[in-house]
């Protein structure tokens, strides 16, 4: 059971996911969490280098879609800023938001990965949806709401 919470891959930053690496893993598409994955929780701007990374992936033909538990207006504004489609109120860790994003984008499960910073939301949702999962080191997790920070201790314990 605990193995089901384990990400397939751990990375420090989304920028480690180059088009070559993704294709080597058989991936053509990524579902991306926003908060603490692509940006600071309280920021409307992508983290340094993220906008260029998105541009590089898009130019290489990698399909991208944001999948966030955040509210539609806030996530929609960020999605517009980085030029990506999105699914808000994804209800992660349920796989519903991942499945909705794949339907919306026409992504096939076997060629899609899920990237996020939380085991109990992003990774579990991706695993339940049958996707390859990538756990990224969170960007400034101290800015997250208390209920998210509360989960960080058990996550660290499980990752050991």
Q: 114-155 pLDDT, tens per residue?
A: 999 998 899 999 999 999 999 999 887 666 665 666 666 667
Query: Mind listing the domains of the chain with CATH numbers?
Result: 2-159 (3.40.50.1000)
The answer, yes or no, to whether residue 41 has pLDDT greater than 90, is no
Average pLDDT over every residue of 29-53: 93
φ, ψ of residue 87 to 5 degrees: the values are -125, 120
65 — phi, psi (to 5°)? -150, 135
Contact 118, 156 (CB under 8 A): no
According to the model, what pLDDT value does residue 1 have? 47
What is residue 8's predicted lDDT score, i.e. its pLDDT? 94
Q: Is 158 a residue whose pLDDT tops 70?
A: no
Dist. CA 52–CA 55, nearest whole Å:
5
């Amino acid at each position: 059971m605990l193995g089901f919470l384990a990400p397939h891959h751990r990375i420090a930053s989304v920028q480690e996911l180059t088009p070559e690496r993704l294709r080597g893993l058989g991936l053509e598409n990524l579902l991306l969490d926003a908060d603490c994955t692509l940006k600071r929780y309280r920021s409307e701007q992508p983290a340094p280098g993220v906008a260029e990374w998105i541009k590089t992936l898009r130019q290489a033909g990698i399909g991208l879609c944001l999948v966030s538990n955040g509210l539609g207006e806030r996530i929609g504004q960020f999605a517009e800023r980085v030029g990506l489609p999105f699914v808000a109120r994804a209800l992660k860790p349920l796989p519903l938001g991942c499945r909705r994003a794949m339907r919306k984008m026409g992504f096939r499960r076997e060629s899609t990965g899920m990237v996020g910073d939380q085991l109990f939301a992003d990774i579990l949702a991706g695993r339940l949806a049958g996707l390859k999962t990538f756990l990224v080191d969170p960007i400034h997790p101290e800015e997250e709401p208390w209920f998210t920070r509360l989960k960080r201790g058990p996550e660290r314990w499980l990752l050991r």
